[in-house]
Amino acid sequence: MDHVDSLVCTLCGAEYDPDQVIYTCPNHPGVKGILEVTYDYDRVLDRFDEPLDGAIGSQWKYRAFLPVDDDVEPVTLGEGGTPLLEAPRLGAELDVDLRVKDDGRNPTGVLKDRATAISLTKAREFGLDVVTCASTGNAAASLAGFSARGGFDCRLFVPGDAPEGKLAQPLVYGADVLGVRGSYDEAYDLSMAVTERFGWYNRNAAVNPFQVEGKRTVGHELAEQTREEIPDWVVFSMGDGCTIAGGWKGFREFADLDLVEETPRMLGVQAEGASAIHDAFHDHDDADEVADTVADSISVGRPRNAVKACSALEESGGESILVSDEEVLAAESLLGRTEGIYAEPAGAAPVAGLRKAREAGIVEAGDSVVVVVTGTGLKDTRSAMRAGGEVTAIDPAIDDVVERYGDAD
């Protein structure tokens, strides 16, 4: 891995060997000294000889940028390479020039697959065969799917209130699913304690320095796909904050290396009931730690990556905004009926945030915007039913159809 320099602590600057299994900087007991992977970009560029022609088979097109050993066979289900769709009807509704990056089309239905593939490829490189994480659902399902693919033992800590569809999926993938009677934050603390005691490989967002590196590929892809017309804004939802941080880092790298001409501003969207990153970005220090929102994937009380997320917003000249649960559900149905894209609540939250940002004058009429849909709606049918309205019951009689649509001419 001579294209990877080191792991650097974001708090004290201490450096660690990237070939060592380490999660956070040990110089800060009780505090999270998040580690950042740094690269030798001359070496990265030497290794990168792919044409930026928009043909993206999977995220492994950007292998030169990924912190994995050349000799290791990746654990992959073909993640990444998701489409960037023009969204004229939704764009007209919101009065912007809109495109949608549909990352719900990843193998387990979520952008997190990009990160999971890297985590498990690292686990393979380190020779570890038991893996774990804490998750409100999507990370668990993703880790379980890729574990099955790579032949790992997968043990998951899931909070009691995760949607049923998201638990069915890891069970089918053959994982041990441990339903923790408690919150996501409690499940998370337990998974960390377990990692320390048993040495299982931990995919948890933020503390695993490699997993977030996989999320950069959504930024690489966005840069490549929008190269001819870089948007004014890219909109992400924020839970722990890794996704927006990774997406920004990927896009920025391509601009730094002159592969694209400029960078977009990042718009980060959180739910009113889980607003810690927004609060930190706007210097409100009254953030309570209890998260409560229909958008379960971003229902995080204590985000593990608020620092990196705030840097992404700041460096890009971006903004953050809050949306209510009603606005999220309305956005889920608006996205579905205008563009045929079925998102889970956290995947539709950026659409709600964009509408709010238009109303607040943050995003202006006619701006060019890319919304990133992070997860499919297929796993969370209960929320979808709340968003989508009701079935119309009729008798098996032609008269009932005539009554609804009028008779044939």
Ligand X SMILES: *Cc1c(COP(=O)(O)O)cnc(C)c1O
Name the minimum Å distance from CB 28 to Zn ion.
5
67 binds ligand X (CB under 6 A): no
Name the minimum Å distance from CB 320 to ligand X.
12
- Choosing from 1, 11, 77, 130, the residue that interacts with Zn ion (CB under 5 A) is 11
User: b/e map of 231-251 (b: 16 or more CB within 10 Å)?
Assistant: bbbbbbbbbbbbbbbbbbbbb
Name the minimum Å distance from CB 137 to ligand X.
7
Name the minimum Å distance from CB 374 to ligand X.
3
213 binds ligand X (CB under 6 A): no
Stretch that binds ligand X, among 76-84, 236-244, 321-329, 378-386 (CB under 6 A): 236-244
CA-CA distance, 379 to 245, in Å (whole number)? 25
Asked if residue 374 belongs to a known ligand binding site, the reply is yes
CA-CA distance, 341 to 100, in Å (whole number)? 9
| Binding characters for ligand X, 328-367, by CB under 6 A (x = yes) | ----------------x-xx--------------------
Asked if residue 138 belongs to a known ligand binding site, the reply is yes
What residues from 260 to 299 belong to the interface with ligand X (CB under 6 A)?
Answer: 297-298
The size of the interface with ligand X (CB under 6 A), counted in residues, is 18
Stretch that binds ligand X, among 30-38, 148-156, 237-245, 388-396 (CB under 6 A): 237-245
33 binds, among ligand X, Zn ion, none (CB under 5 to 8 A by kind): Zn ion
122 binds ligand X (CB under 6 A): no
Residue 101, SS3 per DSSP:
strand
8 binds Zn ion (CB under 5 A): no
CA-CA distance, 387 to 91, in Å (whole number)? 20
CA-closest candidate to residue 34, choices 314, 316, 313, 308? 308
**DSSP labels, 231-272:** -SEEEEE-SSSHHHHHHHHHHHHHHHTTSSS--PEEEEEEET
CB atoms within 10 A of CB 70: 10
Q: What residues contact residue 47 under an 8 Å CB cut-off, 6+ apart?
A: 3, 63, 64
Residue 9, SS3 per DSSP:
strand
Interface residues toward Zn ion, by CB under 5 A: 9, 11-12, 14, 25, 27, 33
Interface residues toward ligand X, by CB under 6 A: 110, 112, 138, 205, 237-243, 297-298, 344, 346-347, 374-375
